[in-house]
């Protein structure tokens, strides 16, 4: 009977043992990569909406304050998407014939939510955390965290996309070291943390000269840049000034209860 296995089969056997050992590592790595990829997290992908609403146009070019539409953002946990009435306060007078605004007019007449052409109602949610996570906007705004730090450069979005993945790892990156993400306008150092948030958009609106940091916040995704040591030193002073407490920030019950 001839030899079934040639000597080369030895190498093959050894190789497959090594591969079998590597397999879990590869699978895990692939799993993590997929879980963190835009395919899963939808980061940086503009989301279809019933109306192509542009933040660049309304928030930056027209200079409407975020709080005109997201009225509850500094008081409550949710920011909220504005009611049809808010759009109609302007669009009852301007662009009244635009076909793009047909869903707004229809919603105002019928009292039903703004809907897609196929009838499925409502704006598509762009940012969300799972139901077992408690998130609160008001405390973050009060401590001077800019909207763009979490949501990406909203002021230049034609169609809204998600700026960050909102995975637990991401929340904790800031909860451990908030000093990296705090910012103050050198020209207006007396503003409170909350006022600093909206002052930045005002500055852009007025065409004031921007520092590199401000430019990153407004046009890039701030979270993806690490601040230099000087900025971190300044941030540490701001932690005190804005009254940020770090003690309970990484305790599980802060976000899961």
Partner 1 sequence: MQRQITIGLTLVGAALLVAGCHTDMWQQPKVKAQQKSEFQGFSNKAASRPLVAGTVPRGKMKLDEAFFTGFQDGKLVKELPIQVDEMVLKRGQERFDIFCSHCHGRNGDGKGMINQRGLVLVRPPASYHSDRLRNMPIGHFYDVITNGFGVMYRQAPGVEPADRWAIAAYIRVLQTAMNGNLNDVPSDERSKLEASAGKPSIADAATPGEEKS
- Give the gyration radius of the chain's Cα atoms: 24
For residues 134 and 17, the answer to whether their CB atoms sit within 8 Å is no
- Which lies closer to ligand HEC via its Cβ, residue 17 or residue 133? 133
Q: How far is the CB of 147 from partner 1 (least distance, A)?
A: 14
Q: What residues from 152 to 211 belong to the interface with ligand HEC (CB under 6 A)?
A: 154-155, 160, 166-168, 171-172, 174-175, 178, 181, 197, 201
Using CB under 8 A, list all residues that contact partner 1. 61-65, 67-68, 71, 78, 80-81, 83, 85-86, 88-90, 92-94, 111-113, 121-122, 130-132, 195
**Residue 168 in tokens:** 């637990």
Q: How far is the CB of 232 from partner 1 (least distance, A)?
A: 30
From ligand HEC, partner 1, none, interface partner of 167 (C-beta below 5 to 8 A by class): ligand HEC
Beta bridge partners of 115: 121
The b-or-e profile of 225-247 (16+ CB within 10 A means b, else e) is eebeeebeebbeebbeebebeee
Q: How far is the CB of 27 from ligand HEC (least distance, A)?
A: 17
CA distance readout (Å), 76 to 70, 135, 136: 11, 10, 7
Question: Of the ranges 7-15, 17-25, 57-65, 213-221, which one interacts with ligand HEC (CB under 6 A)?
Answer: 57-65
Q: What residues from 35 to 54 belong to the interface with ligand HEC (CB under 6 A)?
A: 49, 51-53
- Which lies closer to ligand HEC via its Cβ, residue 178 or residue 227? 178
Q: How far is the CB of 246 from partner 1 (least distance, A)?
A: 28
Distance between CA atoms of residues 157 and 58, nearest Å: 10
DSSP-assigned letter for residue 256: -
Helices and strands (DSSP H and E) totals, the chain? 13, 0
**Residue 101 in tokens:** 């605004």
Q: How far is the CB of 206 from ligand HEC (least distance, A)?
A: 14
How much helix, strand and coil, in percent to the nearest 5, is found in the chain?
50, 0, 45
Confirm or reject binding of residue 238 to ligand HEC (CB under 6 A).
no
Q: Which of 27, 139, 208, 237 binds ligand HEC (CB under 6 A)?
A: 139
């Amino acid at each position: 009977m001839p030899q079934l296995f040639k000597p080369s089969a030895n190498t093959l056997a050894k190789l497959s043992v090594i591969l079998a050992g590597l397999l879990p590592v590869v699978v895990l790595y692939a799993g993590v990569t997929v879980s963190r990829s835009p395919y899963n997290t939808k980061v940086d992908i503009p989301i279809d909406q019933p109306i192509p609403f542009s933040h660049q146009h309304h928030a930056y070019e027209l200079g409407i304050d975020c709080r005109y539409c997201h009225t509850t953002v500094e008081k409550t946990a949710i920011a909220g998407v504005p009611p049809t009435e808010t759009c109609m306060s302007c669009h009852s007078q301007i662009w009244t014939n635009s076909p793009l605004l047909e869903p707004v007019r229809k919603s105002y007449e019928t009292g039903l939510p703004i809907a897609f052409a196929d009838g499925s109602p409502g704006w598509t949610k762009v940012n969300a955390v799972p139901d077992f996570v408690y998130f609160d906007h008001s405390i973050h705004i009060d401590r001077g965290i800019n909207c763009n730090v979490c949501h990406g450069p909203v002021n230049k979005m034609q169609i809204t996309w998600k700026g960050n993945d909102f995975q637990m790892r991401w929340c904790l990156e800031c909860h451990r070291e908030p000093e990296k993400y705090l910012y103050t306008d050198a020209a207006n150092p007396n503003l409170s943390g909350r006022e600093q948030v909206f002052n930045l958009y005002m500055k852009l609106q007025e065409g004031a000269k921007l520092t590199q940091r401000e430019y990153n916040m407004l046009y890039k995704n701030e979270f993806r840049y690490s601040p230099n040591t000087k900025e971190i030193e300044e941030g540490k002073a701001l932690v005190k000034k804005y009254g940020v407490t770090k003690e309970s920030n990484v305790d599980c019950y802060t976000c899961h209860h």
